[in-house]
Amino acid sequence: MSEDQYLGNLYQRFPVTVEKALGSHVWDTDNNEYIDCMGGYGVALVGHRNERVVNAIKSQIDKVITVHSSFYNKTREEFLQTLINNAPSGLSQVHLNNSGAESIEAAIKFARKFTGKKKMVEKVSFSPYGDVNSLHDAVDKDTAFVILEPIQGESGIHVPPDGFLQEVRKICDENDSLLIFDEIQSGLGRTGSMWASEHWKTIPDIMCLAKGIAGGVPMGVTLVRPDILAVMKKGEHSSTFGGNPLACAAGTATLQALTQDGLIENAKNMGEKLSNGLEELKSKHAIIREVRGKGLMIGVELKFEVKDILMEGIKNGLLLLYSGRNILRFLPPLVISEEDVMKTLQILEKLLTNEENRRNA
Ligand SMILES: Cc1ncc(COP(=O)(O)O)c(C=O)c1O
């Protein structure tokens, strides 16, 4: 494919040229149809081309496409109001940016300035996930913040043991360290509640959002306690595109879709059906080691590499995501129907059987 000539070799690429998409379906340039369980890496949260999002973007395009944060804009104001109405209590100030990375960059900067401390504890590489004792050892009075995903996505969908997040909150408070939640993948209804951290009733000091927040338009959001953001002075942090009105219009529409169209409830219900079906497949297929997750954020760990299954999925009309070499990750749009969940399970059954046959051959 000619894109490869220019883009370097940074991504695992699949042989599908996407032409269009709607809801939880994608079509390629040969008009082959796929069920999208990859969900644009979780970005197609409220469904591809969600009607509310499409209408909001169309209507905003006819008004103004760019307004720098030096000026005021009603579309941005409406987004901020809608966002704060749905934010965890106490996180009532916002920095608008354009991606997950930028959202986290801002969070780190704010936390360092507020605490005056430099040391950070990051759950992925410095402290094993779910291990309270090791976190106790890692965090001390010099620690500016602890950052973690309430449910880990990239590392293969890891749900924390009950009580862990509450314990992390306590450790942070004891050390005057801030707690930052990265809800970029787990937030906005994906796990069957607005925030994954709600499952364990834990509120951070800063929360990072991105991926599906603007229905597919690039946007990052850093939600912050007001006293923390208050330490930042004019010009100490900025973003040229942050708060772009197109993204804000799409963001309000996304939040409305989540809260008014039953999508969070659907994530819970369809997530249960998908998880139950996957558990059933596990009981029949020894190559599945574990099924884990919440709502529509599910990982299936296999005993072998998943690459052939992903490629065969494409031939069978199913787009799947991976985590590492041996984990299948499901991040479908929250609008996915029961019919598509059932079809997904049927296709997967075939893929697992074929994989087992290949391995036994
Ligand atoms: C949990 C989490 N945090 C941060 C990021 C980085 O987001 P972005 O690629 O928008 O910079 C990702 C991206 O997959 C993510 O899953």
Pocket flag, ligand 1, residue 99 (CB < 6 Å): yes
Q: Choose which residue among 124, 184, 209, 241 to substitute to test ligand 1 binding: the one with the highest number of ligand atoms within 8 A of its C-beta.
A: 184
The 10 Å Cβ neighbour count of residue 182 is: 27
Helix (H, G, I), strand (E, B) or coil at 130: coil
Pocket flag, ligand 1, residue 213 (CB < 6 Å): no
pTM, full prediction: 0.96
361 residues of the chain, pLDDT tens digit each:
689 999 999 998 999 999 999 999 999 999 999 999 999 999 999 999 999 999 999 999 999 999 999 999 999 999 999 999 999 999 999 999 999 999 999 999 999 999 999 887 764 445 567 788 888 888 999 999 999 999 999 999 999 999 999 999 999 999 999 999 999 999 999 999 999 999 999 999 999 999 999 999 999 999 999 999 999 999 999 999 999 999 999 999 999 999 999 999 999 999 999 999 999 999 999 999 999 999 999 999 999 999 999 999 999 999 999 998 999 999 999 999 999 999 999 999 999 999 999 888 7
Pocket flag, ligand 1, residue 295 (CB < 6 Å): no
Q: Which domains does the chain have, with CATH numbers?
A: 4-49+262-360 (3.90.1150.10), 51-260 (3.40.640.10)
How is residue 74 written in tokens?
């009603």
Between strands 288-294 and 297-302, the pairing is antiparallel
Pocket flag, ligand 1, residue 39 (CB < 6 Å): no
Distance 218 CA to ligand 1 centre (A): 12
Distance 51 CA to ligand 1 centre (A): 25
Pocket flag, ligand 1, residue 316 (CB < 6 Å): no
Q: How does DSSP classify residue 202?
A: -
Ligand 1 atom 6, closest CA: 100
What confidence score (pLDDT) does residue 282 get? 98
Distance 63 CA to ligand 1 centre (A): 31
Pocket flag, ligand 1, residue 184 (CB < 6 Å): yes
Q: Name the nearest CA neighbour of 184 among 274, 275, 97.
A: 97
Q: Choose which residue among 41, 122, 185 to substitute to test ligand 1 binding: the one with the highest number of ligand atoms within 8 A of its C-beta.
A: 185
User: Which atom from ligand 1 is nearest to the alpha carbon of 211?
Assistant: 10
Pocket flag, ligand 1, residue 212 (CB < 6 Å): no
Torsion angles phi and psi, residue 136, rounded to 5? -55, -45
Distance 168 CA to ligand 1 centre (A): 22
CA distances from 330 to 291, 307, 323 (A): 11, 15, 10
Distance 101 CA to ligand 1 centre (A): 6
The single residue listed with the structure tokens 């804009």 is 73
Ligand 1 atom 16, closest CA: 185
Ligand 1 atom 7, closest CA: 100
Q: Choose which residue among 105, 147, 154 to substitute to test ligand 1 binding: the one with the highest number of ligand atoms within 8 A of its C-beta.
A: 154
What confidence score (pLDDT) does residue 127 get? 58
Residue 28 burial (CB < 10 Å; 0-12/13-18/19+)?
Answer: middle
CA distances from 233 to 110, 114, 138, 228 (A): 11, 11, 31, 11
Pocket flag, ligand 1, residue 153 (CB < 6 Å): yes
Do residues 35 and 19 lie in contact, with contact meaning Cβ atoms separated by under 8 Å?
no
Torsion angles phi and psi, residue 259, rounded to 5? -90, -20
Q: Name the nearest CA neighbour of 326 among 351, 290, 281, 295.
A: 290
Pocket flag, ligand 1, residue 214 (CB < 6 Å): no
